[in-house]
Amino acid sequence: MTVIDELRQAVVDGQLKPAVAKVEQGLAEGTEAGRLLTEGLIAAMAQVGQLYEEGEIFVPEMLVAARAMTAALGVLKPHLLEEGVEAAGTVAIGTVQGDLHDIGKNLVAMMLEGSGFEIMDLGVDVPAERFVQAIREGANVVAMSALLTTTMTNMREIIQAITDAGLRDQASIVIGGAPITKTYADEIGADGYATDASGAVRVVREVLAA
């Protein structure tokens, strides 16, 4: 196995320290940071996503894999900047105003980051103005999460605020969270909706390709 294969396996298995060690080893051996990213981390997260969709692994495994990936990416990032590796897109992600739940949102952010996207993590309890500002700062995808039926209604208002700011055509909007359905996403005029973190990556790719 090459160091890239070992890196990929460590991430899929959720082994944080070995994943970091393999990035360091790869860099020391002169492997390009861009290859460690695409063939190592991005390939690993694609495999994790596929295993999840096949019902082989679940959120717990996905979460530990994503944490291993994030740690490895932290080491890799300065080298990617040096090499000038471009992100696939910039996603502004946050849990909507009134809602403090961030585990699902963080998992989606990590899966997207591990799929080559630049992430602007706006955190939790994010007001409409902050999403609007993120588009002005260059986000071309807005991803919103809500875990409560009481707070999901704020998504509609945030989309309205983005439209009112004249920015609706500058960013695609995707939503998710336990109470969200396809019908609701259509009703409030979101461009995409996903039931889980793996689906979120696919949806973001789709809306950017559209």
Partner 1 sequence: MPLLRAPGGGLVNVDLQPVGRRVQVAPGSTVLEAAQLAGVQLVAVCGGLGTCGTCRVRAVDGRLGEETEEERTWLDGSERAQGWRLACQTRVVGAVRLEIPPESLSTPQRLQTEGLSVDFELDPAVIAIDLALAPPSLEDLRADTRRLLEGLAAAGAPGTSVELRVAASSSDRLRDQHWQGRAAVRRRPDGTGDLVCIRPPKEPLLGLAVDTGTTKLAAYLVDLAGGHTLARAGAMNPQIVYGEDVVTRVTYANTSPDAARLLHERLVGEIDNLVGVLCAQAGARRDQIVDAVVVGNTVMHHFVTGLPVRQLGEAPYISAVSDAVVAGAAEIGLRLAGGAAVYLPPNIAAYVGSDHVAMLLATGLADTEETVLALDIGTNTEISLAHKGVIWSCSTASGPAFEGAHIHDGMRAAPGAIEHVRFRNGAFQVQTVEAQAPVGICGSGIVDAIAAALDAGIIDERGSLAKDHPLVSRSSGKPTCLLVPAARTGHGRDVVFTRSDVNEVQLAKGAIRAGTELLLQEAGLCASNLDRVVVAGAFGTYLDLQSAIRVGLLVDVDRHRYHQVGNAAGRGAEQLLLSRERRAVADRLAMRVRYVELTVNRSFTDVFAAALSFGTELGRAEERG
Instruction: Summarize as ranges the residues that interact with partner 1 (CB under 8 A).
Output: 55-61, 63-64, 67, 97-103, 106, 124-125, 148-151, 178-184
Which residue, 97 or 115, has its beta carbon nearer to partner 1?
97
CB of 141: closest distance to partner 1 in angstroms? 23
Which residue, 81 or 100, has its beta carbon nearer to partner 1?
100
Which residue, 21 or 59, has its beta carbon nearer to partner 1?
59
CB of 168: closest distance to partner 1 in angstroms? 24
For residues 157-175, one letter each, b for 16 or more C-beta atoms within 10 angstroms of the residue's C-beta and e for the rest, the string is ebbebbeebebbeebbbbb
> Distance between CA atoms of 143 and 141, rounded to whole angstroms?
6
CB of 7: closest distance to partner 1 in angstroms? 20
Which residue, 24 or 61, has its beta carbon nearer to partner 1?
61
Rounded to the nearest 10°, the torsion over CA 57, 94, 203, 71 is -50
Which residue, 95 or 172, has its beta carbon nearer to partner 1?
95
CB 26 within 8 A of CB 7: yes
CB 91 within 8 A of CB 119: yes
What is the residue type of 152? M
CB of 182: closest distance to partner 1 in angstroms? 5
CB 204 within 8 A of CB 112: yes
CB of 101: closest distance to partner 1 in angstroms? 6
The three-class DSSP label of residue 152 is coil
CB of 4: closest distance to partner 1 in angstroms? 24
Q: Is 111 left (phi over 0), alpha (psi -120 to 50) or beta?
A: alpha
Which residue, 34 or 127, has its beta carbon nearer to partner 1?
127
